[in-house]
Structure 1
Amino acid sequence: MLSAPVDIERNILFDMAEEFIHQTSRPVFLTGKAGTGKTTFLRHIKNTTKKNTVIVAPTGVAAIHCGGTTIHSFFQLPFTPFVPDVKPGFEHADDMSDKYSLLQDLKLDSEKRAVIRALELLIIDEVSMVRSDTLDAIDTVLRYIRRKPYRPFGGVQVLFIGDLFQLPPVIPDDQWRILREYYDGPFFFQARVLQQVKPLYLELKKIYRQRDPDFIRILNNVRNNTMEEEDYLRLHERYQPGFRPSAHEQYITLTTHNHKADAINAGELEKLPGPTSRFEGEVRGDFPERNFPTDRVLHLRVGAQVMFIKNDMERVRRYYNGKIGRITHMTSDRIVVIFPGEGPELEVQKDTWKNIRYTFNPRTRQVEEEILGEFTQYAIRLAWAVTIHKSQGLTFERAIVDAGSSFAAGQVYVALSRCTSLQGIVLQSRIVASSIMTDERIIRFAQEEASLESLGPILRQERRQMALEAVAALFDLAGVQDELIRFRDELSQRMFRDKADAEAMTDDMVMKMNVLQNVAQRFQEQLRRIVQEASVQNDFQPAYTRLENAREYFCTRLRDDFQGLLEEHYEIMKDRPRVKKYLGDLQTLREAIEQTYTDIQRSADVTF
């Protein structure tokens, strides 16, 4: 009888989170315990949103798994600490950056700038590992490139996904000595920009990985650092320091360090009889080795314990990310695995991972994905051991946990929460209070979670705000302003009769467009104030009147100062010799201004 409310709540939260992403521009932090469906939500949004979307993650492997790119490569951020402002008397070092040095050294090509200007939704996955200064650096770049210096994230909606109770961001001591002058802590929610705009805190509740209420309660207490004596006693029932599993039991050891996991895997592989087979992955195009989801060269033997590193995409799922099996047959191009006690053998298929970059299609005005490279390999890896860090997102039925010497907050929780049941866990080392570390700042931030009852009114308010932002964006002339500047730059390289007249005309249009864009920016802020006041009065007629006047003014200016002039100039130039490329540039400019004119006309259809 107790499960129905949880299911209803899960459905409401999932659906509400989706509505906030699709129908509002509010930043959202979507979190949840391990196994609650955060990755499912990300993929669902990616497949259903109509917004121009970019997905980023803090590491290469995480970026490949979520189908995006890394934060630093997309925004071209340095790996040095970023300080949001320079305090008086503070000595600027070469191994740090601030707003001015970051923007001065920014190397974004025109394609990347176009993507950022068209961006509507930025998804940051694994945000628990994103540092506060990194988020402020992202905010700085977005405001600058989008020419919206007073709007958090340059007006882009941000969806943060992750679990702060898992692995934290890493800041070396020498960098923290710089950053502690500016930040209260390393977590993303301590960024300066999030003091200006609070993300809506939504937590998915329904747990899919575990079913045992007692185990779920213990995991919650580990997560929140509220362990009681009874919880430790239950965990210590699983303490078996000399435990050696038999081959058919298929346990995996979760340990804290790479060298431990590598040594266990190599040692167990060497114990097996028979030759070692070598399976080399194929790299096409640009796919950095550091982003490989599994080894480029797999060294395997019959009898080896392996785990899958992707979910099965078939309707009837035969395996999942973390499912463990044993190799029964191999040839030079064939690997067969069995899951003991689960039916027939399975021939492992190769999978392909993509390294992408985002591009902007000016014809459709959509952000698109371009494949830079691909990595093809069997989606498995040796599975006698794995580090706790690399186990994030995996699910195990049986695990030997060596987390007593945990060195990072959240590692014990990550390790235990990978497992489907308490009975499937064997502890190699005791878990003591000192190894369960939950930062009090995370617990305080978690108290900002929005209540289920508050979401309806917030959603209605944010829908109206999104309508306002959408109509304000129709009056943004930055795109056509850029096109004019590009046209002027191209013109300087051309040689034809009457070039001087064309240059004079273009310089005059650039000047007028700069003035018009300044007017447009002031109007956008004015419209926001009028709509906010109208919301209080519940009378939007003043907003509609102001919008109609603005529409008439900007359309008149575009028609009289640009469209008519360019049409007349085109008619004069079209029969001149050696102007084919120039006419092409001229036509592109005309189309950009025509599109802007059409966009502003669309503001007549808005309703608040």
Structure 2
Amino acid sequence: MTQKTALNILKTGANVFLTGEPGSGKTYVVNDYVDYLRRAGIETAITASTGIAATHIGGMTIHSWSGIGIKKKLTKYDLEKIATSEYLVKRIRRTKVLIIDEVSMISADTLTMVEAVCREVKGVSAPFGGLQVVLVGDFFQLPPIVDRQEPAPTDLFLELETIEQSTSHFSFSSPVWPRAGLIVCYLTEQHRQADRQFSAVLSAIRSETVGVLEQEIVASRLVTPNTVPTEATKLFSHNLNVDQINLDKLNKISGSVRIFTMKSEGREALVITLKKSCLSPERLELKIGARVMFTKNNQRLGFVNGTLGEVIGFAKLSGRPIVKTKDGRRIEVESMAWPVEENGRALAQISQLPLRLAWAITIHKSQGMSLDEAVMDLSQVFEFGQGYVALSRVRSLAGLHLLGWNQKAFAVHPQVLSIDRNFCQQSVVGEETFTKMPMVDLQKMQRNFILASGGQWPVKNEADEKSRPVINHQRIKKNKIDTLDETLALWRQDQTLKQIAQKRKLAESTIFSHLERLVLQNQLKPAELKRLPSPVLTKALPKIQTVFKELKTRNLLPVFEKMGGAYSYDDLRIARLLLED
């Protein structure tokens, strides 16, 4: 299926499983669809299976979004507790579209729990409570890590009816998968591996048809430890101390070291999660001659997550590192942000140079990267999909340097192999159905979905979509800054929240979110917001803020519960905003 067809299907509001080989454009389609929904004014929850995946998309983990946390099972009691959490209820009820990235790394039981939470909170019996759900991923990638140990039975657990559990750990084995009526969009275009011969090898692994020819092609890339190219990144199958390996390599380079420290702002718990998940380290040490890898995408400057290069100097004025990439481009690398956003509002963010030392990296952390060149030893591969993930990180056969392999390197999980054939067939049926549909009927479905979700039709700037090759993240960021500046200017003209909302034709809650973000970015001081609360709330502020300090939290729920619900969440939000650190 083409990206265009998949996007048209998504716009109808259908539940979709978006899949395809690495480099087929899954992320591109998701970005396009999210941009479309935002222009339509549709509330979208962007989530992922892991912290690393979540940092790539600027969202949060599905566990955090749904409130299930680290639970392995969900009881009726757990469901009721989640359904009485005001902030979770608000979050889920205002969401119209739920996107879950890297669904291959989510267990069947996790997906079942998330679906149950959505139904319970929405109060709708339809799958996922009537949300449009978009599952994104490739089951040939690394599978979910499942704790085989069941929780010890307790009286409480045995007395309560548990949510339906699955017998398999893959999310497609969840009972909610068929109930959701997912249309499979299996992308078939290839945008990463330009090398047809190499693409054929990867496809053979996916179909379990690796023969003599494919093995000969792979064998042609064998190297010895003495002939390994020094500039290529080494992928490790086991969780070796790659940080120590990289540091040892750095220490062997003569010259002074430059240190770049990560900055953070926002909710402490989210900041901690971001730091753990970010591929760029909290403390980045660089020298001239250091081998580095970009950890973020920037289409304007021409690098992606996985682009390799070498530090060739530091800018005289800014002190920023200058990196020469494999294709000879010189890039002065600026700090970039990894935010956690909810409905356009930044809850927390970290900022660091989008770089990491690149002599070594684990296969797990390489998932989602596109590497120019890599050295790998697949003779120690120990789980299904690990070899395929490592091989598919490289853009071409010429960039592959192989120290060895075992037969497990070409092995795929038999369950995945079987279900993938079904996915391919379902995708063909879906494509035929929608491509044969009259355009007027397709547009009617898309219009009905937008209007039913409370969005604006026609969608703003929709005509520009076809001519836009990629989402310009810099432009989007600039627009966000412009809208914040406008709110800031009006606030400093002594206009009230209501007046600003009316003048800008935005909801008061949106303007309040702007103020929160301005404080987060240190453009506004809490002292400048003293006219925000009502006279009654102003008198109560010391008492409320004392509770925030006693509990050592900036989360609203613990304060709400501690004060017995005496103050609304909106009041607590204002009190938190005025809280001096």
CA distance in 2: counterparts of 1:381 and 1:62, whole angstroms? 17
Shift, 1:470, TM fit: 8.2
Q: Give the corresponding residue for 1:326.
A: 310
In the alignment, residue 9 of structure 2 is paired with which amino acid? F
Unaligned ranges ≥5, structure 2: 154-161, 455-535, 537-581
Q: Give the corresponding residue for 2:546.
A: none
1:129–1:169 contact (8 Å) kept in structure 2: yes
Match of 1:101 among 71, 74, 77: 77
1:128–1:164 contact (8 Å) kept in structure 2: yes
Shift, 1:157, TM fit: 0.8
Q: Give the corresponding residue for 1:339.
A: 325
**For residues 122 and 467 of structure 1, do their structure 2 counterparts lie closer, same or farther at Cα, with a shift above 3 Å needed?**
same
**For residues 342 and 467 of structure 1, do their structure 2 counterparts lie closer, same or farther at Cα, with a shift above 3 Å needed?**
closer
2:384–2:408 contact (8 Å) kept in structure 1: no
| 1:443 matched to 2:417 | yes
CA distance in 2: counterparts of 1:41 and 1:469, whole angstroms? 18
1:353–1:375 contact (8 Å) kept in structure 2: yes
Q: Give the corresponding residue for 1:415.
A: 390
| 1:43 matched to 2:31 | yes
2:67–2:88 contact (8 Å) kept in structure 1: no
Match of 2:191 among 192, 202, 208: 208
Q: Give the corresponding residue for 1:296.
A: 282
In the alignment, residue 305 of structure 1 is paired with which amino acid? R
1:425-440 pair list within 5 angstroms: 425-429=400-404, 431-440=405-414
Secondary structure of 1:374's counterpart equals strand
CA distance in 2: counterparts of 1:399 and 1:467, whole angstroms? 46
In the alignment, residue 103 of structure 2 is paired with which amino acid? V
Shift, 1:302, TM fit: 1.5
Secondary structure of 1:189's counterpart equals helix
In the alignment, residue 3 of structure 2 is paired with which amino acid? F
Secondary structure of 1:173's counterpart equals coil
CA distance in 2: counterparts of 1:347 and 1:458, whole angstroms? 49
CA distance in 2: counterparts of 1:106 and 1:420, whole angstroms? 44
CA distance in 2: counterparts of 1:468 and 1:305, whole angstroms? 52
Match of 1:305 among 278, 282, 291: 291
| 1:351 matched to 2:336 | yes
CA distance in 2: counterparts of 1:320 and 1:472, whole angstroms? 37
What is the root-mean-square deviation in Å for CA atoms of aligned residues? Answer: 2.9
2:295–2:304 contact (8 Å) kept in structure 1: yes
Q: 1:491-540 deviations in whole A, cap 9, x for unaligned?
A: xxxxxxxxxxxxxxxxxxxxxxxxxxxxxxxxxxxxxxxxxxxxxxxxxx
| 1:56 matched to 2:27 | no
CA distance in 1: counterparts of 2:299 and 2:453, whole angstroms? 39
CA distance in 1: counterparts of 2:448 and 2:255, whole angstroms? 69
CA distance in 2: counterparts of 1:268 and 1:426, whole angstroms? 20
| 1:70 matched to 2:45 | no
Q: 1:577-602 deviations in whole A, cap 9, x for unaligned?
A: x9xxxxxxxxxxxxxxxxxxxxxxxx
Secondary structure of 1:258's counterpart equals coil
Count residues with an aligned counterpart: 431
Match of 1:266 among 227, 242, 247: 247
1:20–1:459 contact (8 Å) kept in structure 2: no
In the alignment, residue 283 of structure 1 is paired with which amino acid? S
Q: 1:69-88 deviations in whole A, cap 9, x for unaligned?
A: 11111111042322xxxxxx
Q: Give the corresponding residue for 1:519.
A: none
**For residues 195 and 459 of structure 1, do their structure 2 counterparts lie closer, same or farther at Cα, with a shift above 3 Å needed?**
farther
1:88-487 pair list within 5 angstroms: 97-98=74-75, 100-106=76-82, 109-148=85-124, 150-175=125-150, 182-245=165-228, 247=230, 250-286=231-267, 287-288=271-272, 289-314=275-300, 317-330=301-314, 333-339=319-325, 342-343=328-329, 345-356=330-341, 358=342, 368-429=343-404, 431-446=405-420, 447-449=422-424, 450-451=427-428, 452-456=431-435
Shift, 1:141, TM fit: 0.7
Shift, 1:403, TM fit: 2.4
CA distance in 1: counterparts of 2:7 and 2:309, whole angstroms? 36
CA distance in 1: counterparts of 2:139 and 2:199, whole angstroms? 18
2:383–2:408 contact (8 Å) kept in structure 1: no
Secondary structure of 1:257's counterpart equals coil
Q: 1:440-474 deviations in whole A, cap 9, x for unaligned?
A: 22222222332132334689999888888889889
**For residues 217 and 176 of structure 1, do their structure 2 counterparts lie closer, same or farther at Cα, with a shift above 3 Å needed?**
farther
Q: Give the corresponding residue for 1:16.
A: 5
Shift, 1:32, TM fit: 0.9
Q: Give the corresponding residue for 1:34.
A: 22
Shift, 1:22, TM fit: 1.5
2:288–2:311 contact (8 Å) kept in structure 1: yes
Shift, 1:154, TM fit: 0.5
Q: Give the corresponding residue for 1:557.
A: none
**For residues 448 and 282 of structure 1, do their structure 2 counterparts lie closer, same or farther at Cα, with a shift above 3 Å needed?**
closer
Unaligned ranges ≥5, structure 1: 1-9, 83-96, 359-367, 475-577, 579-608
1:308–1:320 contact (8 Å) kept in structure 2: yes
Q: 1:198-242 deviations in whole A, cap 9, x for unaligned?
A: 311111111111122211110111223221122112212212232
Secondary structure of 1:158's counterpart equals strand
Secondary structure of 1:106's counterpart equals helix
**For residues 415 and 26 of structure 1, do their structure 2 counterparts lie closer, same or farther at Cα, with a shift above 3 Å needed?**
same
CA distance in 2: counterparts of 1:423 and 1:38, whole angstroms? 25
Q: Give the corresponding residue for 2:528.
A: none
In the alignment, residue 63 of structure 1 is paired with which amino acid? A
Secondary structure of 1:174's counterpart equals coil
**For residues 108 and 300 of structure 1, do their structure 2 counterparts lie closer, same or farther at Cα, with a shift above 3 Å needed?**
farther
CA distance in 2: counterparts of 1:177 and 1:394, whole angstroms? 39
Secondary structure of 2:240's counterpart equals helix
Q: Give the corresponding residue for 1:515.
A: none
Q: 1:245-286 deviations in whole A, cap 9, x for unaligned?
A: 455xx2111111332422431221121112322211111223
Secondary structure of 1:283's counterpart equals strand
**For residues 398 and 121 of structure 1, do their structure 2 counterparts lie closer, same or farther at Cα, with a shift above 3 Å needed?**
same
Shift, 1:161, TM fit: 0.8
CA distance in 1: counterparts of 2:401 and 2:412, whole angstroms? 23
In the alignment, residue 29 of structure 2 is paired with which amino acid? F
**For residues 59 and 467 of structure 1, do their structure 2 counterparts lie closer, same or farther at Cα, with a shift above 3 Å needed?**
same
Q: 1:161-197 deviations in whole A, cap 9, x for unaligned?
A: 1111111111122149999x94231111111112323
In the alignment, residue 318 of structure 1 is paired with which amino acid? G
CA distance in 2: counterparts of 1:383 and 1:327, whole angstroms? 11
Secondary structure of 2:412's counterpart equals coil
Q: 1:385-422 deviations in whole A, cap 9, x for unaligned?
A: 11111112211222101222122221111111111211
**For residues 310 and 237 of structure 1, do their structure 2 counterparts lie closer, same or farther at Cα, with a shift above 3 Å needed?**
same
Secondary structure of 2:34's counterpart equals helix
CA distance in 2: counterparts of 1:467 and 1:310, whole angstroms? 34
**Percent sequence identity over matched residues?**
29
CA distance in 1: counterparts of 2:453 and 2:331, whole angstroms? 53
**For residues 420 and 243 of structure 1, do their structure 2 counterparts lie closer, same or farther at Cα, with a shift above 3 Å needed?**
farther
CA distance in 1: counterparts of 2:322 and 2:210, whole angstroms? 43
